A and B are shown apart, each in its own frame.
Chain A
Amino acid sequence: MITYAMVIDTRTCIGCGDCVVACKNENSVPAGLNRDWVVEETRGEYPHLSTEFRSERCNHCAHATCVTNCPTGASHYWKDTNIVLVAAEKCTGCKACIAACPYDARLIMHPDGYIDKCTFCHHRVDQGLDPACVSSCPTHCMHFGVLNDADSLVSRLLRTRNYKALLTETGNEPNVYYLV
C-alpha cells in the first residue's frame, strides 16, 4: 500500500488561510462549507505564550474509522493508498462517517446530500501534482509525498525534525504530520 502523507511546518506557517481558499477554488466547495481550516493554538500564561498555526483537514488515516463504519462501502481507500474518498453514487447520507471521525473533518455536500471531505486532491496526485493547498502555500510550509519512500521529502523531514500528529491516541493512524 502506498501511504501518502502531508507534512506541515508549524514554524513557518503564518495562518494566512491560502490553503483554505485554494481548496475551495480547486474543488468547487460550495459557499459556507470547508474541507480544510486553520487553527491557532496558544499555550502558556502571559507573558510566556507560544502560538502555533495548524492547517487542518482529513488525516487520511491508515485505520480510518469513517471507512469501517460506512454501511455501503461509499467511504473507501483510493486505489491501493491511504487516501480516503467518498463515492457519491454509493452514499446514502446516513452520516455514520461524520459521527465516526474524531477530527470532525467530514461534511454534508449540500444540496446533493452525499457526504464530502478532503480528497488530498487525488485527481492532481494522479497526475503527479501536489494537492492544491500544498501548491498554493506562500511560505512553502506544506509538503506532500509518499511515506513509504525513504528518500521522499516528507520521509526526510520526519526523520530530521520533531513532529506530531493529531489525536494519535484514537488509533486511527493519521497521516497529516506537523513539524514543531
Chain B
Amino acid sequence: MVEEVLVTARFNAKVDPSLTIWSWEIAVYLFLGGLTAGIMCFAAWSLLADKDKELPFAHNRFALWAPIVLSVGMTTLFLDLEHKLYVFRFYTSFQPASPMSWGAWILVLVYPLMVLQVFSTLRRGYPVLAGWTEKIPFGTGLLEFCERWRRPIAWWVIPLAVGLGIYTGVLLSALSARPFWNSGVLGPLFLVSGLSTASALAIIGARQAGEKHFFARTDLTLIGVELMLIALFLINLSTGTEQQLAAVHMVMGGTYTVPFWAWFVLPGLLIPLVLEAFELRGIRGFAMIASVLVLYGGFMLRYLTVELGQLSRWTDYGIQFDPQLLLRLTP
C-alpha cells in the first residue's frame, strides 16, 4: 500500500485536484483550426486539379470560409488567455522547442495566404463581394494579382494548411507531463479529423449532387482513416508507461468510457460512416444529418482529448484541504 496525502494546503486554482486550465475555448480553437486546415486544403486542391466544373463550391466558394472559421477560433483562443493584455508577446520571440510558438507563427503565415486564396476565387465565387473589393483603392489590382498567381498561392496553401492541422495535435502531444496526450498519433489524427470535418462542411455547402457525392465519398475514406488512427492511438497508450495505462483506462473501462464511445465514436464517426455509405449506395436523404454528426464528432474529439489529458497526470495526492470547509467556520 502506498498512500500520499497533502498535510499542508494546496488548492491552486485550476491545478488542484486536477487540471482545469483549458476548457471549451481550447477545444473550439483546436476544432476550428483543424476545420480551417481542411477547408484550405480542399479549396487549394480543387483549384490545382482544375475541378471548376465538377467541384464548383470547393473551387470557387469554399476558401472564404477559412478566415471566418479561423477567426472565430482565434477569438476563443484569446478568451482563454489569463494575461490577455500581453498577447503580443507571442510575436516578440520565436521559441523553436515550443509547439505553441510554432503555431503562433504558422498563423502569421496562414492568415495573409488564406486572404490571397480568397481573393483569387472571389470573382467566380462571390461576385457581389468582388464588386465591393473593386471599389476600394487597389482592389481591382489585388484581385487580378491573386487570380494571376492563384496556382502558386494554392501550392503554398497546402503545406501550410497541413502544418496548421498537424500542429493542433502536436500542441497537446508535446506536453509529455500529460500521459493521455503523449502520443505521436495525435498530430495526424487531428489533421485527418480536420479534413473530415471540412468534407462534411463541403457536403452542406455544395449545391450540385455530384459535388455532394464526391465529398461524401471522400469523407467516408477519411472517417475510415480516422477510426484507424484512433485505434492506433489507443494501442499506443495501452502499450505505454504506467501513467499512459492509467490514462487510457479512463476510456477503456473507466469513468470516461461512456462519453468516449457513446457520445463521440458512435454518433461522431460510426453513424455518419453508415449514413454516408447509404448515401453513396443511392439511398438519399442522409447526407445533411451525416455532415452535422461529423462536425459534432470533430468537436467532441477535441473536447474529450482536452479534458482527458488534463485528468491524466504523474502525481496524484489525496487532496486533504477543502476550501469549502472554511466557509463552515463562519457562523
Partners in one complex: yes
CA distance A93 to B83 in the complex (A): 5
Number of interface residues of A (CB under 8 A): 53
Point out the residues of chain A lying under 8 angstroms from B309, CB to CB.
99
In the bound complex, do residue B177 and residue A100 qualify as a contact, i.e. CB atoms below 8 Å apart? yes
Point out the residues of chain B lying under 8 angstroms from A20, CB to CB.
8-9
| Other-chain contact of A72, B22, B101, B176, B317 (Cβ < 8 Å) | B101
In the bound complex, do residue B13 and residue A100 qualify as a contact, i.e. CB atoms below 8 Å apart? no
> Please, which residue of chain A has its CB at the minimum distance from the CB of B174?
A69
| Other-chain contact of A17, B7, B99, B104, B174 (Cβ < 8 Å) | B7
Smallest CB separation, B18 vs chain A (Å): 9
Point out the residues of chain B lying under 8 angstroms from A32, CB to CB.
11-13, 323
CA distance A112 to B85 in the complex (A): 10
In the bound complex, do residue A65 and residue B82 qualify as a contact, i.e. CB atoms below 8 Å apart? no
Point out the residues of chain B lying under 8 angstroms from A113, CB to CB.
81-84
In the bound complex, do residue B12 and residue A34 qualify as a contact, i.e. CB atoms below 8 Å apart? yes
Smallest CB separation, B180 vs chain A (Å): 11
B175 within 8 A of A: yes
CA distance A74 to B93 in the complex (A): 10
In the bound complex, do residue B100 and residue A110 qualify as a contact, i.e. CB atoms below 8 Å apart? no
Task: Bin chain B's interface residue count.
Answer: 35 or more
B95 within 8 A of A: yes
In the bound complex, do residue A104 and residue B19 qualify as a contact, i.e. CB atoms below 8 Å apart? yes
Point out the residues of chain B lying under 8 angstroms from A106, CB to CB.
15
- The proximity string for B residues 1-33 relative to A, scoring 1 for CB distances below 8 Å and 0 otherwise, is 111111111111111100101100000000000
B178 within 8 A of A: yes
Smallest CB separation, A176 vs chain B (Å): 13
CA distance A32 to B13 in the complex (A): 8
A103 within 8 A of B: yes
CA distance A169 to B244 in the complex (A): 13
Taking CB atoms and an 8 Å cut-off, the chain B residues in 57-105 that contact chain A are 80-84, 86-87, 89-90, 92-93, 95, 97-101, 103-104
Taking CB atoms and an 8 Å cut-off, the chain B residues in 191-231 that contact chain A are none
Point out the residues of chain B lying under 8 angstroms from A90, CB to CB.
86, 89, 92-93
> Please, which residue of chain B has its CB at the minimum distance from the CB of A44?
B1
In the bound complex, do residue A92 and residue B89 qualify as a contact, i.e. CB atoms below 8 Å apart? yes
In the bound complex, do residue A38 and residue B8 qualify as a contact, i.e. CB atoms below 8 Å apart? yes
In the bound complex, do residue B176 and residue A167 qualify as a contact, i.e. CB atoms below 8 Å apart? no
B313 within 8 A of A: yes
> Please, which residue of chain B has its CB at the minimum distance from the CB of A72?
B89
In the bound complex, do residue A99 and residue B8 qualify as a contact, i.e. CB atoms below 8 Å apart? no
In the bound complex, do residue B177 and residue A170 qualify as a contact, i.e. CB atoms below 8 Å apart? yes
CA distance A96 to B174 in the complex (A): 10
In the bound complex, do residue A69 and residue B13 qualify as a contact, i.e. CB atoms below 8 Å apart? no
In the bound complex, do residue A96 and residue B100 qualify as a contact, i.e. CB atoms below 8 Å apart? yes
Main secondary structure of the interface of B (DSSP, over half): loop
CA distance A42 to B7 in the complex (A): 12
> Please, which residue of chain B has its CB at the minimum distance from the CB of A69?
B98
In the bound complex, do residue B98 and residue A70 qualify as a contact, i.e. CB atoms below 8 Å apart? yes
> Please, which residue of chain B has its CB at the minimum distance from the CB of A51?
B3
In the bound complex, do residue A33 and residue B12 qualify as a contact, i.e. CB atoms below 8 Å apart? yes
Point out the residues of chain B lying under 8 angstroms from A108, CB to CB.
12-15, 21, 82
Point out the residues of chain B lying under 8 angstroms from A93, CB to CB.
81-84, 86
A107 within 8 A of B: yes
CA distance A45 to B1 in the complex (A): 6
Point out the residues of chain B lying under 8 angstroms from A165, CB to CB.
none
Point out the residues of chain A lying under 8 angstroms from B22, CB to CB.
95, 99
Taking CB atoms and an 8 Å cut-off, the chain B residues in 23-46 that contact chain A are none
Smallest CB separation, B8 vs chain A (Å): 4
Smallest CB separation, A117 vs chain B (Å): 10
CA distance A164 to B203 in the complex (A): 58
B310 within 8 A of A: yes
In the bound complex, do residue A40 and residue B21 qualify as a contact, i.e. CB atoms below 8 Å apart? no
B330 within 8 A of A: no
Using A32-B323, A38-B7, A72-B92 as known contacts, say yes or no to A95 and B86 having CB atoms under 8 A apart. no
Report A's interface with B, CB cutoff 8 A.
Answer: 15, 17, 20, 32-34, 37-45, 53, 65, 68-74, 88-96, 98-104, 106-108, 110, 112-115, 166-167, 169-171
26 contacting pairs across A/B (C-beta < 8 A): A17-B7, A20-B9, A32-B11, A37-B8, A37-B9, A40-B4, A42-B1, A45-B1, A69-B97, A71-B98, A72-B101, A73-B95, A88-B83, A91-B83, A92-B83, A93-B83, A96-B98, A98-B19, A99-B309, A100-B177, A102-B177, A104-B19, A106-B15, A108-B15, A113-B82, A167-B314
